[in-house]
Amino acid sequence: MGAAVAKALGFGTSETSWADGLDAVGKPPYELVLPPPDEATELLRRLGVPETDAAEVVATLPSRSGLPEWWWLLERSCHWLTKVMGDPDESHFTWPSWVGTEQACSLQRRCFMAHVFLAMVPHTMAWHRSRGLAEDISWASMADLGRHMVIHRRTYGATGVDAAWWVTVCLRAEVFDLGRLQFNWFHLGAGDTSPWWYPLEEARHRGPGFRPGDFCVGVHIPESGPMTPAACDDSFERAKGFFSEHFPLVGQRRRLATCWSWLLDDQLADWLPPESNIVRFQRRFELVPGSIESDGNILEFVFRVPDPLEHLDALPQRTRLERAVVAHLRAGGHWRTRSGWVDL
């Protein structure tokens, strides 16, 4: 059936193998429900989705009889998400990357992740409730959909969902909004949200908190204005209480918060003033030795334009960071993604 759906929708090779994988997941043992258009519009508003984008998401809502192939994909995608809910060790990178404009990718494809989101909200929030999460934290955490639709529009000028894989981290109840920062949970060395880390022997030698399989918290910086030290202090304080209450440690004496980001590239300190928020954020963390060269990553987060490396001359040069990113590349340098940790 997966192959038939893929054929009917004109899927390419990687989309077809994704549909084949969903075939193996099967139909959910529950009735999948999408809210009717007026409720969907209200829910999207609550999830921070701008009106223009929400209208297109609602206009493309699939139904069992209206768009049976898309309904088939939706049912199985949601079944998979509910199966792996609360299990961060399972892969997050199994989704097609449906981004761009109409020429690159149809509206139906670009809205699919938002349809999944609408169908999943009750399931994810039920999991939050089972862990005793406050309703305001639950809603704030779900509003990541709006943020990623705003980013998609800014990048491509069209409705869509940026970083679908990350949105699934949210739908799988692994990430929580606690003020300025977001925090997700995982087991060190397991799954694909675990950061670049110490070699095995050293991790073991460092003891509880550092060992493979230990419970760990990831720190994320959503795009929502400057990250002042005071706002970050507040988020870290909230995270301490939050994880102790909702994810108590069993047989582990120490808990770390880790960050794996372009923001921890220590070369940034050569370009930004010591009082900049980024440099002050870096100072919180002890860096793990080693790095991954990733010019594309910093360019994506700073400029939000398609293929920035190919258009270095046209990138805006308004802020110190924008100028630094381009000047460093022009001087033959490369930017890196690095990992760091701090006790939580």
Ligand X SMILES: CC(C)(COP(=O)(O)OP(=O)(O)OC[C@H]1O[C@@H](n2cnc3c(N)ncnc32)[C@H](O)[C@@H]1OP(=O)(O)O)[C@@H](O)C(=O)NCCC(=O)NCCS
State how beta strands 292-293 and 286-287 pair: unpaired
Residues in the chain: 344
Q: Measuring CA to CA, which residue among 146, 138, 114, 117 is closest to residue 48?
A: 146
Shortest Cβ distance from residue 276 to ligand X (Å)? 3
330 interacts with ligand X by CB under 6 A: no
**60 to 89, contacts with ligand X by CB under 6 A?**
none
226 interacts with ligand X by CB under 6 A: yes
42 interacts with ligand X by CB under 6 A: no
State how far the Cα of 327 lies from the Cα of 317, in Å rounded to an integer: 10
**Residue whose token pair is 């193996």:** 24
- Binding letters toward ligand X, positions 252-271, x by CB under 6 A: ---------xxx--------
**Residue whose token pair is 């940034």:** 268
State how beta strands 292-293 and 336-343 pair: antiparallel
What is the Cα gyration radius of the chain?
21
Nearer to ligand X, 188 or 263 (CB): 263
Q: How many residues bind ligand X (CB under 6 A)?
A: 17
Q: Which stretch binds ligand X (CB under 6 A): 15-23, 78-86, 220-228, 285-293?
A: 220-228
23 interacts with ligand X by CB under 6 A: no
State how far the Cα of 192 lies from the Cα of 177, in Å rounded to an integer: 20
Q: Which stretch binds ligand X (CB under 6 A): 25-33, 84-92, 234-242, 316-324?
A: 316-324
Q: Which stretch binds ligand X (CB under 6 A): 33-41, 58-66, 140-148, 314-322?
A: 314-322
278 interacts with ligand X by CB under 6 A: yes
State how far the Cα of 304 lies from the Cα of 153, in Å rounded to an integer: 10
Shortest Cβ distance from residue 137 to ligand X (Å)? 20
Q: Which amino acid is at 3?
A: A
Site residues (vs ligand X, CB under 6 A): 221, 223, 226-227, 261-263, 272, 276-278, 301-302, 319-322
